């Protein structure tokens, strides 16, 4: 699995940890992409199952495939983010180890970006499938992500209920690299997509070219925001305020984006739907943090006043 001399125009990055159950189907669908020049980079975050064997068996003799195994667990978001710097293509897309792509998805997304030079990302509609591949439903874009005004794009992303399948779109890598990438919170992909929307409109292919698998072993299903927060920060004992921190990341996304003063004010105002929906959860975060801090102080006081020999 050696690298070709010339960098391909597109990189598909697949971050994975213990992806054995669905990985082979995902890889075969990516290797079956047609009419497009690309590389596939698989970043294995210290898997303990057969993930590495599956990748190397399917990629043997295929110069498009690079297999990277992390020396230590760097977390879900860390693994996603590091792939951006390891890619060589001008265009970049993340792929999930449990999804399946239609054979022309990558070519169609690349064509959509070529047709719209001002777009920073191209996405497609999706079919939602279950563990056995049975169809559960579908997703079609309902947000005005192609609107010329950044505030409108962000307001819809925060206000219109939707599954965030934009994060599996094809992105101009130089734009992606200029963002904060995925913050180390459970909603990090939503913050990233909002920041991308502040930097340019999205193109959308309204065909179900992505088969997104929904199953109980997904990290979004089995890990709550607090546990996810701690998993991305090993060894840190700081208080956890998931909703408060999420709001801070959205605020940073607006403040650091290349907007005019008027656009920045409008984008800040566009955060109101998020603030409305998260006001009570943020208050609960603070209350719980206060209780946790009180308990820690009580335990520390108990230890310091204990019997001494």
Q: Which of 214, 211, 215, 213 is nearest to 101 (CA)?
A: 211
Kindly report, residue by residue over 140-167, the tens digit of the pLDDT. Answer: 999 999 999 999 999 999 999 999 999 9
> Is 100 or 5 the better-scoring residue by pLDDT?
100
- Pair of tokens at residue 187: 């909603």
Judge whether residue 10 has pLDDT over 60: yes
User: What pLDDT does 2 receive?
Assistant: 45
User: What pLDDT is attached to residue 291?
Assistant: 72
At 238 the pLDDT is 63
Separation of alpha carbons 85 and 53, rounded Å: 24
| Average pLDDT of the segment spanning 246-273 | 97
Q: Are strands 38-44 and 10-16 parallel, antiparallel or unpaired?
A: parallel
Is 17's pLDDT higher than 80?
A: yes
Query: Residue 217 has what pLDDT?
Result: 84
**Residue 227, pLDDT score:** 73
The answer to whether the Cα torsion of 25, 9, 126, 179 is positive or negative is positive
Mean pLDDT of 179-191: 95
Task: Give the pLDDT score at 284.
Answer: 87
The radius of gyration of the chain from alpha carbons, rounded to an integer in Å, stands at 21
Mean pLDDT of 7-25: 97
Q: How far apart are the first and last CA of the chain?
A: 65
pLDDT in tens, 27-69: 999 999 999 999 999 999 999 999 999 999 999 999 999 999 9
pLDDT digits (tens, 9 = 90+) for 131-141: 999 999 999 99
Residue 3 has pLDDT above 60, yes or no: no
CA 173, 249, 153, 140 torsion-angle sign = positive
Over the stretch 70-126, which tens digit does the pLDDT of each residue have?
Answer: 999 999 999 999 999 999 999 999 999 999 999 999 999 999 999 999 999 999 999
Check residue 155 and give its pLDDT.
Answer: 98
Cα dist from 41 to 70, 104, 181, whole Å: 13, 19, 18
pLDDT one-digit tens code per residue, 206-255: 999 999 999 988 776 666 666 776 677 655 556 778 899 999 999 999 99
| pLDDT (mean) for 9-17 | 98
């Amino acid at each position: 699995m050696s690298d070709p001399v010339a960098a391909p125009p597109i990189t598909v990055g697949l971050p994975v940890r213990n992806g054995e159950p669905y990985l082979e189907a995902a890889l075969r669908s990516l290797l079956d992409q047609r009419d497009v020049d690309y590389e596939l980079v698989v970043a294995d975050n210290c898997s303990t199952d057969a993930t590495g064997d599956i990748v190397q068996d399917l990629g043997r003799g295929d110069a498009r495939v690079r297999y990277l195994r992390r020396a230590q667990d760097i977390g879900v978001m860390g693994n996603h983010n590091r792939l951006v710097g390891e890619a060589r293509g001008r265009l970049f897309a993340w792929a999930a180890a449990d999804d399946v792509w239609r054979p022309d998805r990558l070519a169609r997304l690349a064509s959509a970006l070529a047709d719209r030079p001002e777009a920073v990302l191209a996405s497609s509609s999706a079919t939602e499938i279950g563990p056995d591949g049975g169809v559960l439903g579908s997703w079609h874009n309902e947000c005005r992500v192609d609107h010329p005004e950044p505030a409108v794009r962000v307001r819809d992303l925060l206000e219109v209920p939707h599954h965030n399948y934009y994060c599996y779109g094809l992105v101009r890598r130089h734009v992606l690299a200029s963002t904060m990438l995925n913050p180390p919170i459970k909603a990090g992909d939503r913050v990233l997509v909002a920041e991308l929307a502040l930097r340019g409109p999205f193109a959308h292919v309204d065909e179900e070219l992505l088969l997104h698998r929904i199953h109980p072993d997904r990290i979004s299903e089995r890990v709550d925001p607090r546990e996810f927060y701690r998993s991305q920060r090993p060894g840190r004992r700081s208080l956890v305020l998931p909703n408060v921190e999420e709001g801070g990341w959205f605020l940073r996304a607006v403040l650091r984006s290349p907007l005019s003063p008027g656009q920045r004010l409008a984008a800040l105002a566009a955060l109101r739907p998020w603030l409305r929906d998260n006001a009570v959860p943020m208050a609960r975060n603070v209350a719980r943090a206060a209780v946790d801090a009180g308990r820690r102080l009580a335990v520390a006081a108990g230890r310091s006043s204990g019997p001494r020999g």
